A = this chain, B = another copy of it.
């Protein structure tokens, strides 16, 4: 009996998925354990895998199977899969394998260059490869849709089903809503210096592992390692997270690990029966980021969390946190203060960092500004949005890995993720009552289960807007985030 086109297409997708997962593991290794000298070979490996994936996906046979499957009878899940494949296929077939390979090679080469340039705070060392990447991304956008604004085309790589115009509106509303709060922060009562002292990296790691265990991270399908830039990667069977330890600040690694936990929980909760197809994949970046931020901010920065974890932390780090109360720790974990580094920013000023990147990268991609102008554009905006000016590019425009990865159009999804995390958390509490009592007792199952039910298990079955409405009963907007922020910081600063 011959397989239907749909089943044959799914087999082809499994192969593509395996190629993508292999590349993801090679990238994980590059950022965790690969010896320095390995870059040259790794670059060729990754560009070969992307080229093969691209060739396999854009082969005429894929188009034939896809067109035939679109004509076959199928249920709603089938139609959803075909919708996702059609979207990617129509884009991918417009891009040459040569360009894909060149993008992969450039971004693989860029990683160690960025790492070294950042260490030396030397933007000039990074500039040539960044110019090359920007040029390649513009070629890529022009190949996909020569009539559209290149930035809009790139944005759809991360958010195929959220419009850029809608995003722009939401981000503007968020920014304007946050401004008065950020102004108020300047005159807020000073939080206690609860986290002073030295925090040995090995003990931080032990503590992070203990928190991960209680949150419900499945270590049979995951692990925690160290990398320069924390990330999470993998698939439903093997989802890894990384963090980095600063011995003068335990919050960075702790909240960073909780953040990556949120990503991983999403991945670990994807439907196994759809593994290897878009239906088994996460619903893009904003939804992914809503999961990480929900755990980082709505759990990890909540008062209830510190009521649960302060005592174990005092025990794990003898000598530190002396006389500190849960209330103190909570206040110290929620200091709002303009600062230079996005990943260390508080929940409010964070979105000014995103606004800056959104504007700078759109200007660069559109050609309105040049790569060489980045440090100036960056520093000027930091000053105007947050009143601080980076003393060097390490603390300025070299801090993020994204552009070295070729990720332009990715940053806005962080703010979208925050909005959605607040919207999901509000919906959860509206249905099940306040989350605090369970968090205080270390019971995270109700929240985990609700997220699995409403978000994780659906993969890409619904378009982003549908998924949000099904989960929360309304379209994505910054309203719940602004409500949450006003309530929380109102209480904190009372």
Q: Which of A371-391 contact B (CB under 8 A)?
A: none
8 Å CB contacts to B: which residues of A195-232? Answer: 218-223, 225
A219 contact set on B, CB distance < 8 A: 35
**A38 interface neighbour in B22, B26, B51, B221, Cβ under 8 Å:** B221
Looking at the complex, which one of B41, B52, B220 makes contact with A237 (CB distance below 8 Å)?
Answer: B41
- Give the dominant DSSP class at A's interface: helix
Cα distance, A48 to B41, chains bound together (Å): 20
With A15-B48, A21-B45, A44-B18: A238-B26 Cβ-Cβ less than 8 Å: no
With A21-B45, A48-B15 given, is the CB distance from A40 to B237 under 8 Å?
Answer: yes
Q: Mark A17-46, 1 if CB is under 8 A from B, else 0.
A: 011011001100100011111111110110
- CB closest chain-B residue, reference A34: B238
Complex Cα gap A75–B37 (Å): 31
Smallest distance from the beta carbon of A240 to chain B beta carbons, Å? 8
A302 interface hit (Cβ, 8 Å): no
- Whether A49 sits at the interface, judged by CB under 8 Å, is yes
Q: How far is the CA of A218 from the CA of B41 in the complex (A)?
A: 16
A262 close to chain B: CB less than 8 A? no
In the complex, the chain B residue whose C-beta lies closest to that of A275 is: B41
Contact A49 B34 (CB under 8 A): no
B contact residues around A220 at 8 Å (CB): 35-37
Q: Report whether A19 and B48 are in contact in the complex, using a CB–CB cutoff of 8 Å.
A: yes
Give per-residue flags for A222-250: 1 if the beta carbon is below 8 A from chain B beta carbons, else 0.
11010000000001111010000000000
In this assembly, does A14 line the interface, its C-beta being within 8 Å of a C-beta of chain B? Answer: yes
Counting CB contacts under 8 A, is A276 at the interface? yes
Distance in Å: Cβ of A110 to nearest Cβ of chain B: 18
Bound CA–CA A445/B156 (angstroms): 56
Residues of chain B with a CB closer than 8 A to A223's CB? 33, 35
25 contacts between A and B (CB under 8 A): A14-B48, A15-B48, A18-B47, A18-B48, A18-B49, A19-B48, A21-B41, A21-B45, A22-B22, A22-B26, A22-B49, A25-B25, A25-B26, A33-B33, A33-B225, A34-B238, A35-B219, A35-B222, A35-B238, A36-B221, A37-B238, A39-B237, A41-B235, A41-B236, A41-B238
Other A-B contacts than A18-B41, A21-B41, 9 sampled, CB-CB below 8 A, are A18-B47, A33-B223, A35-B240, A37-B220, A38-B221, A38-B238, A41-B235, A41-B275, A52-B52
